[in-house]
């Protein structure tokens, strides 16, 4: 057996894992070869020195630490995962993924909630009638709702038939008067009110209007009381020749 083959068997020879015949051959070679014998001693010495490395003395602190961690996990299993001390540089293993999953789910849920389309506004129910008041008020022209549209009523007409009322020429000077005349169902004027303008200037007109008689206005064939609004303006016009 040559030196190279012997030295390749050092590992198995140290473990006494060689067959008896091979082990005897190696032993014989080591007795005969000083260089291989020195290498064999060095080989064993190096491996034996592994056991002489510095030894850590223990003081029973591990059991106390284990019981502390077990106690903490029993009391607060979730918090022990969440609040693992970062300074300990402990590897984050599978249990540490649990809070990460919770955070991920929370973020995704928030994103979905924010991205969801806004709730549609409630549908406004539109009335079929042209006026929304129509559904709220009693029928027009009744006692509960005296208003009615002009298309449904025939206007009152002055019985005198004057094209230009006689009181207008008596109106002195320029000015504007706004008057309301209430024509009762019998055609008489029940009230004349000055809504705008000089009341002194309007007095002749008010007296004249109170004496007027009308063919009453009719709503669906029946006489009704109505108000007539008039705006009188008088101005002087000068024209050159």
Partner 1 sequence: MASGELALSTAESRPAATAAEPALVERCRQGDAEAFARLVALHEGMVLNLAARLLGDPEEARDIGQDVFLQVYRTLGGFQGRSTLRTWIYRIVVNQCRNRQRWWRRRRRAALCPLEDISAADEARLATASADESPFERLARRERARRIESALGALSFDHRAILLLREVEGLTCEEIGTTLALPVGTVKSRLSRARDGLRRGLGREGEERP
Please give the residues from 33 up to 92 whose contact with partner 1 meets the rule CB under 8 A: 35-36, 38-39, 42-43, 46-67, 69-70, 88-92
The candidate with the shortest Cα–Cα distance to 177, out of 152, 202, 156, is 202
When the beta carbons of 8 and 203 are compared against partner 1, the nearer one is: 8
**Smallest distance from partner 1 to CB 81, Å:** 14
Q: Quickly list DSSP for 175-228.
A: EEEEEEEEEPTTSBEEEEEEEES-HHHHHHHHHHHHH-BEEPEEETTEEE-EEE
- Counting residues that bind partner 1 (by CB under 8 A) gives 46
CA–CA dist 203, 103 (Å, integer): 87
Under DSSP, the state recorded for 188 is B
**Smallest distance from partner 1 to CB 67, Å:** 5
For residue 50, the number of C-alpha atoms closer than 13 Å in the C-beta half-sphere is: 6
CA–CA dist 10, 43 (Å, integer): 8
When the beta carbons of 57 and 143 are compared against partner 1, the nearer one is: 57
Question: Helix, strand, or coil here: 41?
Answer: helix
**Smallest distance from partner 1 to CB 21, Å:** 19
Query: Could you tell me which stretch among 10-18, 127-135, 221-229, 232-240 binds partner 1 (CB under 8 A)?
Result: 10-18
When the beta carbons of 87 and 120 are compared against partner 1, the nearer one is: 87
When the beta carbons of 19 and 50 are compared against partner 1, the nearer one is: 50
CA–CA dist 213, 156 (Å, integer): 10
With contact defined as beta carbons under 8 Å apart, do 172 and 193 qualify? no
When the beta carbons of 49 and 75 are compared against partner 1, the nearer one is: 49
Provide φ and ψ at 19, rounded to 5°. Answer: -65, 155
CA–CA dist 105, 110 (Å, integer): 9
**Smallest distance from partner 1 to CB 16, Å:** 11
**Smallest distance from partner 1 to CB 9, Å:** 9
- What the block records as the tokens of 151 is 């298309």
Among 11, 27, 109, 233, interactor with partner 1 by CB under 8 A? 11
With contact defined as beta carbons under 8 Å apart, do 6 and 30 qualify? yes
CA–CA dist 155, 149 (Å, integer): 11
When the beta carbons of 7 and 183 are compared against partner 1, the nearer one is: 7
**Smallest distance from partner 1 to CB 52, Å:** 7
Does position 161 interact with partner 1 (CB under 8 A)? The reply is no
Binding site for partner 1 (CB under 8 A): 2-4, 7, 10-12, 14-15, 17, 35-36, 38-39, 42-43, 46-67, 69-70, 88-93
């Amino acid at each position: 057996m040559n030196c190279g083959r012997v030295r390749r068997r050092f590992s198995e020879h140290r473990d006494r894992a060689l067959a008896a015949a091979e082990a005897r051959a190696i032993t014989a070679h080591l007795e005969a070869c000083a260089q291989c014998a020195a290498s064999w001693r060095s080989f064993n010495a190096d491996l034996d020195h592994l056991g002489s490395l510095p030894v850590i003395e223990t003081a029973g602190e591990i059991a106390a630490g284990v019981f502390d961690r077990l106690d903490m996990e029993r009391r607060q299993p979730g918090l022990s995962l969440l609040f693992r001390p970062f300074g300990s540089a402990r590897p984050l293993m599978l249990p540490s993924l649990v809070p990460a999953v919770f955070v991920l789910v929370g973020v995704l849920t928030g994103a979905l909630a924010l991205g969801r389309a806004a709730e549609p506004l409630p549908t406004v129910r539109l009335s079929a009638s042209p006026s929304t008041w129509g559904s709220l008020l009693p029928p027009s022209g009744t006692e509960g709702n005296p208003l009615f549209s002009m298309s449904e009523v025939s206007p009152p007409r002055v019985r005198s038939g004057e094209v230009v009322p006689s009181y207008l020429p008596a109106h002195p000077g320029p000015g504007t008067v706004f008057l309301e005349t209430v024509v009762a169902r019998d055609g008489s004027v029940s009230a004349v009110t000055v809504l705008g303008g000089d009341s002194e200037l309007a007095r002749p007109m008010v007296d004249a209007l109170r004496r007027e008689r009308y063919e009453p206005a009719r709503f669906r064939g029946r006489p009704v009381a109505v108000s007539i609004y008039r705006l009188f303006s008088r101005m002087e016009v000068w024209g050159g020749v």
